[in-house]
Amino acid sequence: MMAHGHVRPSPGCPRCRRGHAPWKTARPEAVATVALVGSPNVGKTTLFNALTGQHQHTGNWPGKTVTYHAGFVEGVEDLLLVDLPGLYTLDAWSPEERVTQEQLALYPFEGVVHVVDAAHLARDLYLLAEVLETGLPVLVALNMWDVARREGVDIDVDQMAALLGVPVIPTVARTEEGVQALKAALRRWLAGTRSPGRPPRYPQRVQEAVERMQTLLAPWLAEWPLVRQRWLALKLLEGQLHLLDALFPPEQARGLRARVAALREEYRRRWREDPALVVADARYGWAEGLWRAVATVRRERRFHLTRAIDQVVTHRWLGIPLFFLVMFLVFHLVINLTDPFIAWVEDVFQGPIRHGLLWGLHQLGAPLWLRSLVVDGVLAGVGSMMTFLPGLTLLYLFLAWLEDSGYMARVAFVMDRVMQAVGLHGKAVLPLILGLGCNVPAIYATRTLDRWRDRLVTALVIPFISCSARLPVYLVFGMAFFGPSTVWVVWGLYLMGFLIALLSAAGLQRFLGAEGEAGPFLLELPPYHWPNRRVIGRQVRQQVREFVVRAGTVIVAISVFLWVLMNLPWGVEDPRQSWFGRVSTWLAPALEPLGFGRWEAAGALMSGMVAKEVVVSTMGQIYLGELASTPTRLGPPSAEDWRQDLQVLGPGLWTTLMEAGRNLVGWRPAVFTAAALEADARLAVALREHFTPAGALAFVVFALLYVPCMATLAALYQEFGLRWAALAMGYQVSVAWVSAWVVHQVARVLWG
Amino acid sequence: MLRRSSSTSSPSVVPLDQLAPGSWAEVVRVQGPLRWRRRLYALGFRPGTRVYVEQRAPLGDPIQYWVQDTWLALRRQTARQIWVRPVAPRRTPPENGTPLSEEV
């Protein structure tokens, strides 16, 4: 056995061209690497967090869109724990499952910590059998020990450890009970000899077939001493042929695939059975034997509370209204509590921080262009990111709470029928509805979906849901052109957004095709429990940090990019002569068929990338000549400025807190606060001069559907990578163009 | 070659989605692609295990079951692949425990 601290070579990655150990970049000299596996809902991630604390490294698996987490275990030196995606069996259909299976097959882990749910041990034993089959040393964490006790499940831990031949440690990840014992066990385990345990035995005919498969593979694996050959042979016999693609270059994999398939076929013909099912039966036999030997169930009433709650929450008539009520409350709290803070954060950035920076730059004698770049480019980007933070933090908190309590699974259960119609998972309902408030948190809310594919499709259609920032655009144009029928135009736009989102989802599912058949729809409805403060707090902190680091970078980059466009060539006075104006002029002909092929419209839409409501202010600046970019604003702040800043920081904060408090108690229909926005009469006149009514209608449709804002793009980039974010942008612009064109044509015919 | 599997031709064997809420059944066999079957097996829908039908979702689909000590919801189209034989509720819990029969 490997001694603690021994460095193992990486398994010949140059040949397969798929990095096997992305976390190695976190700390190349990492010594003992241990995998953490377990099925969903067993508290694996909670245990991971409890073991590693803040020392985590997060990223994507190379070539996959699956997120991995790796971290050093606090108090156990040089132990890198890799949290592999959760699964019920070691079959590999979804990208998440493939990652887990391939890692276990190929990467030389020092061992595996398998987290099982003590309260539902019977079900987790199948996976345990598969984990033992890998031949890796195993340590079992019997998690949810408290729940098992409460529910009257007694497990003889010593007996279980003796039968399995591996250490078994009871834990309660939520309260961190047993975590110290687990760390101690890990320390002992790593220092001593680690037993691979006793996996199930298969019938002789299967054993022979596995050996033949191993013989077939042996020459190919000569350079791969660390690959678990016996296990690989078994998995291939079970038909998991994709493992070949992960291991060998394409030509070799193809050649081997045929021979492996032939061997499998030969077995099936000879014994008239699928080896996969024989092996599965052996595992179940083993699992049942083990269960009988170690567990006793005292007869007690179980889950009565969960059933009682469910009678209301999933009730035939009450279930759906209750879901909308919960959504309404979340909206109310998030929007109304954070609304005052958003304004305050903006004030702080525009006031004290901006002035402080300008003062500093002035002291350093920085040129005007640099001052402008810093305050109007970088600081504007950082500021716009910060305005999202209060709302996002609160929303993350609610989502984590709803998810951890078990309610989210009920939402999926109640609403699944609706989502089924467009090929989405029931859990997709929540992000879609959150999109009405703001698309950014909605995209992050797709994390509650288990499968990457569902997450992607949901996130790609969310931008069509009309967020609250788009309302000012509708209202300004509505007031200018449609008078009292504005209400209908606005409703029509909201409805159109939803319809296009749902249709796109159905279309995308069909278009993405084969990868989607990741197995039957399964939804576990875990027993309710009161969420643990520490678990929620940790999760929210982690999510906020990720947003700031990853999305924040993109937002600042786009903000700087727009600054460059608007301010170059330096000193430009007429916006039309700036690069921004030139790009707009160049883009305008593309909008001609839509009825608004003017550079002003193109420019307003482009600046709307910052945030949709900016479309209105840009139009004001362009049409009414208010484009204020005078160098005086870049001078050192005056005494009056500082006085105002003190006002913002002191009394301003107090007013904000009071207002948030008032909003919490009183009801204010926040989505429509923008209605209070006074429609600028002068702007309305200017718009009527430059747009036809049909063009105006087409313009708002375009504004509804094209890229929501740079923060949404950043969120898509953070969650799905550059390729999907770029594709999403292209798709949104195309849909917007086609829809606006259709609307323009129809409106022209109707209105003559 | 018209031999049919005795289990499916027997009148008492029905697809799982046909059962009314509140009934117990024993899984006879699971149809569908191998991968589906293995996933369903792993969650407890395998020959010989008992399933309790808890309720349908408000819009009729999916359906909530109690199997191997957990609440699981399946869409109709999946439940249709699972053939079961209705049984009377058991009084004494087997190894997995079926305390529901006492509560219902």
The full DSSP string for A42-69 is SSHHHHHHHHHTT-EEEEE-TTS--EEE
Cβ within 8 Å, pair B57-A413:
yes
B36 vs A312: CA distance, rounded Å: 32
- CA of B29 vs chain A CAs: smallest distance (Å): 13
Instruction: Spell out the residues 6+ positions from residue A146 whose beta carbon is closer than 8 angstroms to its own.
Output: A172, A175, A177
Task: Note whether residue A6 is domain-resident.
Answer: no
Is A179 in the same domain as A223?
Answer: no
**What CATH number did the domain enclosing A86 receive?**
3.40.50.300
- pLDDT tens digits, A482-520: 877 878 888 899 899 999 999 999 898 888 865 545 556
Query: How buried is residue A647: exposed, middle or buried, by Cβ count under 10 Å (0-12/13-18/19+)?
Result: middle
Task: Note whether residue B29 is domain-resident.
Answer: yes
Cβ within 8 Å, pair A239-B34:
yes
Instruction: Spell out the residues 6+ positions from residue A739 whose beta carbon is closer than 8 angstroms to its own.
Output: A496, A500, A701, A702, A705
Is A84 in the same domain as A231?
Answer: no
CB A635, CB A362: distance < 8 Å: yes
- CA of B27 vs chain A CAs: smallest distance (Å): 15
Cβ within 8 Å, pair B35-A524:
no
DSSP state for residue A172 in the 8-state scheme: B
* Confidence label for A670 from pLDDT (cuts 50, 70 and 90): very low
A690 vs A699: CA distance, rounded Å: 12
Q: Number of A to B CB contacts under 8 A, please give it.
A: 132
For A519, which of B35, B44, B103 is closest by C-beta distance?
B35
A290 vs A160: CA distance, rounded Å: 8
Q: Give percent of chain A with pLDDT exceeding 70.
A: 87
Cβ within 8 Å, pair A297-B32:
no
Task: Note whether residue B11 is domain-resident.
Answer: no
Amino acid identity of residue A300, one-letter, is: E
- CA of A524 vs chain B CAs: smallest distance (Å): 5
Task: Note whether residue B67 is domain-resident.
Answer: yes
A664 vs A302: CA distance, rounded Å: 38
- pLDDT tens digits, A49-84: 888 876 666 655 554 456 677 888 888 777 888 888
Cβ within 8 Å, pair A316-B58:
yes
Instruction: Spell out the residues 6+ positions from residue A579 whose beta carbon is closer than 8 angstroms to its own.
Output: A564, A565, A566, A568, A569
β-bridge mates for residue A69, sequence order: A58, A83
Task: Note whether residue A199 is domain-resident.
Answer: no
| Domain range enclosing A582 | 322-512+525-751
Show which residues on chain B lie within 8 Å of chain A, measured between beta carbons.
32, 34-44, 46, 55, 57-62, 64, 68-75, 78, 81, 93, 95-97, 99, 102-103
Task: Note whether residue B98 is domain-resident.
Answer: no
Cβ within 8 Å, pair A280-B75:
no
Highest-scoring range by mean pLDDT, A14-23, A307-316, A399-408, B39-48: A307-316
**What CATH number did the domain enclosing A242 receive?**
1.10.287
- The sign one gets for the Cα dihedral A228, A233, A234, A235 is positive
Task: Note whether residue A1 is domain-resident.
Answer: no
Cβ within 8 Å, pair B73-A413:
yes
Query: How buried is residue A592: exposed, middle or buried, by Cβ count under 10 Å (0-12/13-18/19+)?
Result: exposed
Amino acid identity of residue A28, one-letter, is: P
Task: Note whether residue A649 is domain-resident.
Answer: yes
Is A258 in the same domain as A369?
Answer: no
Partners of residue A89 in chain B, C-beta under 8 Å: 38-39, 42
Instruction: Spell out the residues 6+ positions from residue A623 whose beta carbon is closer than 8 angstroms to its own.
Output: A600, A683, A686, A687, A690
B44 vs A280: CA distance, rounded Å: 12
Is A281 in the same domain as A166?
Answer: no
Task: Note whether residue A162 is domain-resident.
Answer: yes
Q: Which of A91, A92, A139, A137 is nearest to A113 (CA)?
A: A139
The two structure tokens encoding residue A208: 């022979």
The full DSSP string for A390-426 is HHHHHHHHHHHHHHHHTHHHHHHHHHHHHHHTTT--G
Asked if the model's pLDDT at residue A11 lies above 70, the reply is: no
Is A136 in the same domain as A159?
Answer: yes
Cβ within 8 Å, pair A120-B93:
no
Is A632 in the same domain as A540?
Answer: yes
| Average pLDDT value for residue range A88-96 | 76
Task: Note whether residue B102 is domain-resident.
Answer: no
Is A116 in the same domain as A262?
Answer: no
* Confidence label for B8 from pLDDT (cuts 50, 70 and 90): very low
Is A327 in the same domain as A387?
Answer: yes
Nearest CA in chain B to A296: B95
Asked if the model's pLDDT at residue A263 lies above 80, the reply is: yes
Task: Note whether residue B5 is domain-resident.
Answer: no
* Confidence label for A742 from pLDDT (cuts 50, 70 and 90): very high
Q: How far is CA A449 from CA A445, A446, A518, A571, B100, in A?
A: 8, 6, 14, 50, 30
Nearest CA in chain B to A292: B95
Distance of alpha carbon A101 from its chain centroid, rounded? 22
Helix (H) or strand (E) holding A33: strand A32-38
Q: Which of B82, B104, B94, B69 is nearest to B25 (CA)?
A: B82
Is A178 in the same domain as A30?
Answer: yes
Nearest CA in chain B to A273: B34
Task: Note whether residue A715 is domain-resident.
Answer: yes
Domain count, chain A: 3
Partners of residue A40 in chain B, C-beta under 8 Å: none
Task: Note whether residue B81 is domain-resident.
Answer: yes
* Side-chain half-sphere exposure of A588, counting CA atoms within 13 A: 16
Cβ within 8 Å, pair A280-B38:
yes
Asked if the model's pLDDT at residue A7 lies above 50, the reply is: no
Task: Note whether residue A314 is domain-resident.
Answer: no
Nearest CA in chain B to A421: B61
Local structure of A475: helix, strand or coil: helix
| Average pLDDT value for residue range A633-647 | 80
User: Based on C-alpha coordinates, what's the Rg of chain B?
Assistant: 14
- pLDDT tens digits, A285-296: 899 899 999 988
Count CB-CB contacts under 10 A for residue A382.
16
- CA of B91 vs chain A CAs: smallest distance (Å): 11
Task: Note whether residue B93 is domain-resident.
Answer: no
Asked if the model's pLDDT at residue A5 lies above 60, the reply is: no
A450 vs A454: CA distance, rounded Å: 8
The two structure tokens encoding residue A464: 């069509």
Is A438 in the same domain as A354?
Answer: yes
Helices (DSSP H) in A192-300: which residue ranges? 204-217, 229-237, 242-247, 250-271, 275-294
* Side-chain half-sphere exposure of A744, counting CA atoms within 13 A: 22
Tell me what ipTM this predicted complex has. Answer: 0.83
Task: Note whether residue A310 is domain-resident.
Answer: no
Instruction: Spell out the residues 6+ positions from residue A447 whose beta carbon is closer than 8 angstroms to its own.
Output: A455, A719
Local structure of A436: helix, strand or coil: coil
A495 vs A502: CA distance, rounded Å: 11
- Substitution target from A303, A418, A425 for chain B, most B beta carbons within 10 A: A303
> What pLDDT was estimated at residue A480?
83
B64 vs B10: CA distance, rounded Å: 26
* Confidence label for A746 from pLDDT (cuts 50, 70 and 90): very high
For A525, which of B64, B69, B93 is closest by C-beta distance?
B64
Domain count, chain B: 1
- Substitution target from B71, B72, B74 for chain A, most A beta carbons within 10 A: B71
Is A571 in the same domain as A697?
Answer: yes
- The sign one gets for the Cα dihedral A73, A79, A80, A85 is negative
> The whole model's pTM is what?
0.78
A681 vs B46: CA distance, rounded Å: 71
Is A227 in the same domain as A340?
Answer: no
For B61, which of A416, A525, A526 is closest by C-beta distance?
A416
Give the per-residue SS3 of A219-230: HHHCCCCCCCHH
Distance of alpha carbon A256 from its chain centroid, rounded? 37
**What CATH number did the domain enclosing B74 receive?**
2.30.30.90
Q: Which of A296-305, A459-468, A584-593, B50-59 has the lowest mean pLDDT?
A: A296-305
The two structure tokens encoding residue A642: 């500082």
For B75, which of A280, A415, A420 is closest by C-beta distance?
A420
| Domain range enclosing B47 | 16-88
Cβ within 8 Å, pair A122-B70:
no
